[in-house]
Structure 1
Amino acid sequence: MLDLTWAFFAIAGPAAIFAGISKGGFGSGAAFAASSILALVVEPGLALGVMLPLLMLVDVATLRPYWRKWHWPTARLMILGGVPGVAIGAAFYAQSNPDVLRVLIGVISIGFVIWQLGRSRGWIRIAASALPRWAGGLAGTVAGFTSFVSHAGGPPAAVYLLSLKTTKTEYQANTVLIFTAINIAKFVPYAFLGMFTAETGLANLALAPFALLGAWIGVKMHFMVPERIFFALTYVLLTVTGTKLIWDGLT
């Protein structure tokens, strides 16, 4: 049951803005922080159900600024890999309970922070040359799975996309197209698994302006703000929420 209280919207509103900013300007990698934040106050399945239509709305809003700036062979490869990943994620979700999902979302949140810090410190190095095409398909499958269970498909997709040494805008355009397709693929199994309710629909209507505002801000920030400033805030949010979710899931 999702209680649409002022306390819920006080958390969900900023979370929706944050998701829009991430998807609109910073490669979608941190958009799943919104789901992690919501999972602190509602059952994880409902948090995912609230966020998916909002993420799809942001997908539509951000397609135009990056239209045809993507590399279609790369995006197609990862989309084809992402579809079976979504199916695996649906099967996993159907067998899991909320505490398992809390721990998994928490682990993915903390793992994202470690991975990003490792990259920035040089502990984790992206391949000097482009990874082979089969790695792109595999990255798409992992992205489809993590996207289904926590909306966290960005990091596995980034491993392959960053190895291609594309421009910032082509990288962003690739992620917009890839996750537009993956989110569409997620919608039907989400519905069958009962992750959409009348309450999540009302929440979507109320939160849509926040998500669109975030997308507009994100597109503007893409061309103006260094990524390190945005991700510094992301690391703090994900460390706190990830730790709390793991604690709640285990206790």
Structure 2
Amino acid sequence: MISDPWFYAVAIPAVLITAISKGGFGGGLGLLGVPIMALIIAPQQAAAILLPILCLMDIVGIWSFRGKANRHALQTLLPSACIGIIIGALTFRYFSADSIRIIVGLIAVTFSLNFWLKPKNSTPKKPSRLRGSFWGTIAGFTSFGVHAGGAPLNAYLLPLKLEKYDYVGTSIIFFSSINFIKLVPYTFLGQFTYETLSTAAALAIFAPIGVLLGVRLHHKIPDKWFYQICYAFLFIMGLKLLFDAF
């Protein structure tokens, strides 16, 4: 197990931020987990430590938002996300973490600015299998390397303007599915070691605490402010990723 106290000084807040975001805001700030932990350790090791913790968060999140999800969106997004995960696993050794950060960061910043600058009376976009399949594939690919699937997923989900319960429930089921799927290629690629798994176990206690706190905050925030906060999270994490990459 990692014994460096400075690692836990950043890892515990990273896990809590990720859990709160997943429990109440669709995972927007969850993308900051790996970059924050990567201040002390390698990004690949940070991703391996965080993945089992994310799976634990997902279990708590599914229970909290059970029955709340957009079935059509999931039927479109999940199959394409599996394709993205396969692409990520096959190209794992060829893409640097920074190149993935740039892709995701640009998506996040662009869609946030589009939300703030476009006319406020715009109507929700209709579900589209073509757009959903495209963003689902990108989400699966970027999620595999640095757990950065939130921005591509939001690029499809947020313009649909779902009810906030459906939006968060859909996000939780989507990421729960792909996180558990990612356990297989992570294992075959040798990402899980005794050190990473024991460190993940030590941090796991903060996962349900953060998710349940996020659920409570979710119930207290009106729909109007909910989407403003989600896009703000999307913009912040985009800037953070671009800053880290450059």
What TM-score comes out, normalization by structure 1 length?
Answer: 0.85
Q: Contact 2:84–2:139 (CA<8 Å) still a contact in 1? A: yes
1:224 aligns to what?
A: 220
Aligned partners of 1:4 and 1:242: how far apart in 2? 30
SS of corresponding position for 2:143: helix
SS of corresponding position for 1:30: helix
1:184 aligns to what?
A: 180
**1:189-232, Cα deviation, whole Å (9 max, x unpaired):** 11111221111111111111112211111111111144445765
Count of residues in Structure 1 that have an aligned counterpart in Structure 2: 242
Deviates most, 122-131 or 107-116: 122-131
Q: Contact 1:24–1:216 (CA<8 Å) still a contact in 2? A: yes
2:32 aligns to what?
A: 33
Aligned partners of 2:121 and 2:79: how far apart in 1? 26
Aligned partners of 1:125 and 1:79: how far apart in 2? 30
Q: Contact 1:109–1:238 (CA<8 Å) still a contact in 2? A: yes
Q: Contact 1:103–1:246 (CA<8 Å) still a contact in 2? A: yes
Provide the identity percentage: 32
| CA shift for structure 1 position 240 | 4.7
Aligned partners of 2:241 and 2:121: how far apart in 1? 27
Aligned partners of 1:135 and 1:108: how far apart in 2? 17
Task: Give the letter aligned to residue 141 of structure 2.
Answer: F
**1:44-89, Cα deviation, whole Å (9 max, x unpaired):** 1101101111111100001012111112232122111111110011
Q: Contact 1:27–1:171 (CA<8 Å) still a contact in 2? A: yes
Identify unmatched segments of 5+ residues in structure 1. none
1:104 equivalent to 2:100? Answer yes
Q: Contact 2:140–2:149 (CA<8 Å) still a contact in 1? A: yes
| CA shift for structure 1 position 241 | 5.9
Deviates most, 143-152 or 6-15: 143-152
Task: Give the letter aligned to residue 169 of structure 1.
Answer: Y
| CA shift for structure 1 position 159 | 2.2
For residues 229 and 139 of structure 1, do their structure 2 counterparts lie closer, same or farther at Cα, with a shift above 3 Å needed?
closer
Aligned partners of 1:29 and 1:91: how far apart in 2? 27
1:45 equivalent to 2:44? Answer yes
1:200 equivalent to 2:196? Answer yes
1:54 aligns to what?
A: 53
1:121 aligns to what?
A: 117
Task: Give the letter aligned to residue 51 of structure 1.
Answer: L
For residues 114 and 138 of structure 1, do their structure 2 counterparts lie closer, same or farther at Cα, with a shift above 3 Å needed?
closer
Deviates most, 146-155 or 101-110: 101-110
For residues 124 and 103 of structure 1, do their structure 2 counterparts lie closer, same or farther at Cα, with a shift above 3 Å needed?
farther
For residues 136 and 106 of structure 1, do their structure 2 counterparts lie closer, same or farther at Cα, with a shift above 3 Å needed?
closer
| CA shift for structure 1 position 121 | 3.2
| CA shift for structure 1 position 163 | 3.3
1:138 aligns to what?
A: 134
1:165 aligns to what?
A: 161
> Alignment RMSD, CA only?
2.6
For residues 230 and 83 of structure 1, do their structure 2 counterparts lie closer, same or farther at Cα, with a shift above 3 Å needed?
closer
Aligned partners of 2:215 and 2:37: how far apart in 1? 24
SS of corresponding position for 2:91: helix
Deviates most, 150-159 or 83-92: 150-159
Deviates most, 61-70 or 110-119: 110-119
**1:170-203, Cα deviation, whole Å (9 max, x unpaired):** 0111111111111111111111112211111111
2:210 aligns to what?
A: 214
Task: Give the letter aligned to residue 50 of structure 1.
Answer: I
SS of corresponding position for 2:30: coil
